[in-house]
């Protein structure tokens, strides 16, 4: 009996030619039939944005003639890519969606700004088991090789076990030597901004957004802690944002 190969959708937010996604495609080719639908340009920080007031282009392209995957380059956001892949390109619902490998961390609160993770979350809302992978190295020359065996292990386990309903995985990978894998909660942190104010040649003020991540969480069960100890962090993330513990509080308000 021949076992049917899993159908795997690969996307990212750094753009279809970024080294991170090229490595992820190569790894996914060892697991199944791979379709790539990814942005034609960098889309970092796009969060869960979708294109509702503009057209979308999505073109079949060949980047690596010697590799077996099908590839499409899309003018939209990472979330657009997942929507168009599932509805227009793939012949059936994929068995897995992987997003990344992002060049840079998506640990802690970064998950809500991240195009990489938003693509994974979008696939999750459509009932597709989904994983976002990020490496803590912004460089285009980042070394993805120490991560490879761990990405394979997580992918294999996800294909074997599936994921709990309404849950996607946020996987962050430390730079350099990797000590193992920890399943974590998202650390409590935020971005403290520091806008760089400048004046244009025509005398008009403008700003560049810059900032610094602040970790307010000393817990040893968080993604930030695991990464600092050289572990890969896996945070199971949900898109039901309901703060169930707060319903009772708000119900005690005078709302009559």
100-139 positions binding a second copy, by CB under 8 A: 109, 111-113, 118, 121, 125-127
8 A C-beta contact, residue 24 and residue 78? no
Query: Binding to a second copy by residue 238, rule CB under 8 A?
Result: yes
Query: Binding to a second copy by residue 166, rule CB under 8 A?
Result: yes
In 10 A of CB 75, how many CB atoms? 17
- For the segment 4-43, give every residue that binds a second copy (CB under 8 A): 42
CA distance 195 to 192: 10
Smallest distance, a second copy to C-beta of residue 179, A: 12
CA distance 81 to 70: 14
CA distance 38 to 61: 11
Size of site (CB under 8 A) for a second copy: 83
| C-alpha angle 230-101-91 in degrees, rounded to nearest 5 | 140
In 10 A of CB 35, how many CB atoms? 22
Query: Binding to a second copy by residue 207, rule CB under 8 A?
Result: yes
64 versus 229: smaller Cβ distance to a second copy: 229
In this chain, which of 27, 79, 98, 226 binds a second copy, going by CB under 8 A? 79
Interface segment toward a second copy; rule CB under 8 A; list 4-12, 22-30, 46-54, 132-140: 46-54
Query: Binding to a second copy by residue 176, rule CB under 8 A?
Result: no
């Amino acid at each position: 009996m021949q076992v049917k190969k899993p159908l795997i959708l690969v996307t990212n937010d750094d753009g279809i030619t970024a080294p991170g996604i090229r490595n992820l495609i190569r790894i996914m080719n060892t697991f199944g039939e791979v379709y790539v639908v990814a942005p034609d340009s960098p889309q970092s920080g796009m969060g869960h944005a979708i294109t509702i007031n503009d057209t979308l282009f999505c073109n079949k392209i060949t980047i690596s003639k010697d590799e077996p995957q099908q590839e499409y380059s899309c003018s939209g956001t990472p979330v657009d890519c997942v929507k168009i892949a599932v509805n227009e390109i793939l012949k059936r619902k994929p068995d897995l969606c992987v997003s990344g490998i992002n060049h840079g961390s998506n640990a802690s609160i970064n998950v809500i700004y991240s195009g990489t993770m938003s693509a994974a979350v979008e696939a999750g809302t459509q009932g597709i088991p989904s994983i976002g992978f990020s490496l803590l190295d912004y460089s285009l020359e980042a070394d993805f090789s120490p991560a490879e065996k761990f990405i394979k292990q997580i992918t294999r386990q996800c294909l074997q076990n599936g994921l709990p309903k309404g849950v996607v995985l946020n996987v962050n990978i430390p730079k350099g030597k990797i000590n193992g894998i920890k399943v974590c909660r998202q650390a409590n942190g935020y971005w403290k901004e520091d806008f760089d104010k400048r004046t244009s040649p025509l005398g008009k003020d403008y700003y560049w957004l810059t900032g610094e991540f602040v970790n307010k969480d000393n817990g040893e069960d968080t993604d930030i802690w695991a990464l600092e100890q050289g572990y890969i962090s896996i945070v199971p993330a949900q898109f039901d944002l309901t703060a169930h513990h707060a319903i009772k509080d708000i119900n005690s308000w005078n709302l009559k």
